[in-house]
A and B are shown apart, each in its own frame.
Chain A
Amino acid sequence: MFVLKVLAVTILGPSLVCAGLALAIPRLVGRSFSDVPWASGVALAAGYLTGHALIFGFPSLPPTDTVQWLFLAVGLGGLLLALPGGPRWPRVGILVVFAGLLTVTLKPMFEYHWTAREGLIWSVVLLVWLFGLDLFLVRLSHPDGAGPVLLPLFAALGGLGAALLGLSATTSLAQLAGSAGSCLLVLALVSRLRSPAQPSWIGVGLTILGGLALNGLFYAQLSGWSAASLGAAPLAAALASWRPFRDRSVLFRVAVVVLFAVLILLPCLSLEVRDFLATPEYDPYEY
């Protein structure tokens, strides 16, 4: 019963909200899913926020810790995407959300652990990486390019991220990553069965998975290698546009891209599992 409850909270609830919005929004505005640019981003944000609320409850105002701030960042990201604007506005808005996310996520590190110089280097590198990844993925997201493989890839990254976080002494962050992964899978199915999603979900997805990875790296026991691998794995999407694979079926390209992402993460996952299983038999920790 306990496991069923955890699965319902982590996967079922967020997926239902995400799916509901992904299907309802186009219907309400009288257009197809791919003709409503903000639908995928808003649906993903709402699904993740549902997962957070079911796992932790609603955050206090002002938020007291970085995971609560992530809730606000995702909510803000979703709202920004829903605002009408030209093609530049969402990217500027997403840059603002990334900068805000990094500011609040790294604040305790500045306060207790880093020198100003260390903090500045980390902040600049992370902001450049996140925003660069966003631009790279949006560019790839054309339906004739890597577009159809991005959502399944990110769904897989959500699941793999959940596994890595679960092995890093934090089950709550693992649950949140699982929620995000299940919402991304739902969006992938809606994209496949209805019409392709517009890339508004990319900025929200990077906010969620990037935020969780940073929380795992700095405040739990996610190793640097695991965090870096999670950060690099989205680059696997470029394979879908590679000439040998470009004309193959969508399912084939999804399989190749996901397999490559798994290969990037497999060394870290193996090491984390090895360390986890190395606990002596007389020490069966179960909270």
Chain B
Amino acid sequence: MRTRAFSLVFALLLLVAPVSAAQNFTVDTVHSSVVFKVKRLGVVNVYGRFNGLKGSIAFDADNPAASSVQLELQAEAVDTNNERRDNHLRSPDFFNAAQFPVINFKSTQVKKISDNSYEVTGDLSLHGVTKSMVLKVDNVGSGTNPRNGSPLIGFETKFVLKRSEFGMTYMTDALSDDVEIIIAVHGVVPAS
């Protein structure tokens, strides 16, 4: 009798209590961007981008520590709107895309630092080197897809890395060691 009553109360509690779990998003390649800039001869910033960002995000707004992100780029997808320069960037002088075709980032820890701002720690693998990075990531918006009502979410981060720390040491007197990177990620729930 007592056991039955307890089970009933427990079941009612489960119905009433909010169920919080990470929501899984896929990176929308078309509406996500990876842009970088590097200083040339100490005089001007030259911009480029990587096309084709892929990945997944598991986001739990109520329990950010349960969130995770995994992003992946193809090194050969570098695009600076100049074919000769792009080929040079893909060569052993810089990204060495044939030897290190994939650039990826995998989070190891997510921490909330303020409303809509998170500190994401993770491993960035680039040019055969893996280093731990701490990124400040902003949740710039969330909503629903007007076509099908599925959830949408947006994140953005800006950070600087030293390319020499990833073994890209060539021409640091002509092109800066510091590379500033902006990543804007649009997360969607794929149609089932």
A279 adjacent to chain B (CB < 8 Å)? yes
**Contact of A285 with B91 at beta-carbon distance under 8 Å, contacts A60-B167, A65-B99, A218-B98 already known:** no
Additional 10 contacts, C-beta under 8 A, given A56-B170, A169-B84, A170-B88 = A5-B173, A64-B127, A64-B128, A66-B99, A67-B92, A108-B100, A172-B93, A215-B92, A220-B91, A283-B83
B11 adjacent to chain A (CB < 8 Å)? no
**Contact of A283 with B84 at beta-carbon distance under 8 Å, contacts A65-B92, A169-B91, A219-B91 already known:** yes
Residues of A within 8 A of B22 (CB): none
**Contact of A56 with B40 at beta-carbon distance under 8 Å, contacts A283-B84, A287-B175 already known:** no
Bound complex: CA A153 to CA B87 (Å):
31
A132 adjacent to chain B (CB < 8 Å)? no
Assess the A56–B169 pair: CB atoms within 8 A: yes
Bound complex: CA A112 to CA B100 (Å):
9
Assess the B128–A65 pair: CB atoms within 8 A: yes
Query: What size tier do the contact residues of chain B reach?
Result: 20 to 34
**Contact of A221 with B91 at beta-carbon distance under 8 Å, contacts A57-B169, A65-B167 already known:** yes
Residues of B within 8 A of A285 (CB): 82, 84-85, 88
Assess the A2–B174 pair: CB atoms within 8 A: yes
**Contact of A287 with B40 at beta-carbon distance under 8 Å, contacts A60-B167, A64-B167, A112-B101 already known:** yes
Which residue numbers of B lie inside 8 Å of A, CB to CB?
A: 40, 82-85, 87-88, 90-93, 96, 98-101, 127-129, 167, 169-171, 173-175
What's the nearest-Cβ distance from chain A to residue B103, in Å? 14
Bound complex: CA A66 to CA B84 (Å):
23
Residues of A within 8 A of B174 (CB): 2, 287
Report the tally of A-B residue pairs with Cβ distances under 8 A. 74
Which residue numbers of A lie inside 8 Å of B, CB to CB?
A: 2, 5, 55-57, 60, 64-67, 108-109, 112-113, 168-173, 215, 218-221, 279, 283, 285, 287
Assess the B85–A287 pair: CB atoms within 8 A: yes
What's the nearest-Cβ distance from chain B to residue A122, in Å? 14
What's the nearest-Cβ distance from chain B to residue A10, in Å? 13
Residues of B within 8 A of A279 (CB): 83-84
Residues of A within 8 A of B92 (CB): 65-67, 170, 172-173, 215, 219-220
What's the nearest-Cβ distance from chain A to residue B93, in Å? 5
Residue of chain A at shortest CB distance from B88: A169
Residue of chain A at shortest CB distance from B98: A219
Residues of A within 8 A of B84 (CB): 169, 279, 283, 285
Residue of chain B at shortest CB distance from A174: B93
What's the nearest-Cβ distance from chain B to residue A222, in Å? 10
Residue of chain B at shortest CB distance from A176: B92
A-B pairs with the 4 shortest C-beta distances?
A: A285-B84, A169-B87, A108-B99, A64-B128
Residue of chain B at shortest CB distance from A283: B82
Assess the A108–B98 pair: CB atoms within 8 A: yes
Bound complex: CA A5 to CA B99 (Å):
29
Residue of chain A at shortest CB distance from B40: A287
Instruction: Among B96, B171, B173, point to the contact of A65 (Cβ < 8 A).
Output: B96
Residue of chain A at shortest CB distance from B81: A283
Residues of B within 8 A of A218 (CB): 98
Residue of chain B at shortest CB distance from A5: B173
Bound complex: CA A66 to CA B88 (Å):
17
Bound complex: CA A65 to CA B92 (Å):
9
Bound complex: CA A171 to CA B170 (Å):
10
What's the nearest-Cβ distance from chain B to residue A201, in Å? 25
What's the nearest-Cβ distance from chain A to residue B82, in Å? 5
Residues of B within 8 A of A56 (CB): 169-170
Assess the A64–B129 pair: CB atoms within 8 A: yes
Q: Taking each of B128, B129, B170, which has the highest tally of chain A beta carbons within 10 Å of its own beta carbon?
A: B170
Residues of B within 8 A of A283 (CB): 82-84
What's the nearest-Cβ distance from chain A to residue B94, in Å? 9
Residues of B within 8 A of A171 (CB): 88, 93, 171
What's the nearest-Cβ distance from chain B to residue A119, in Å? 14
Bound complex: CA A56 to CA B128 (Å):
16
- Pull 29 A–B residue pairs with CB atoms less than 8 Å apart, ordered by A: A2-B173, A2-B174, A5-B173, A60-B167, A64-B127, A65-B127, A65-B167, A108-B98, A108-B99, A108-B100, A112-B98, A112-B101, A113-B98, A169-B88, A170-B91, A171-B88, A171-B93, A172-B91, A219-B96, A219-B98, A219-B99, A220-B92, A221-B87, A221-B91, A285-B84, A285-B88, A287-B88, A287-B171, A287-B174
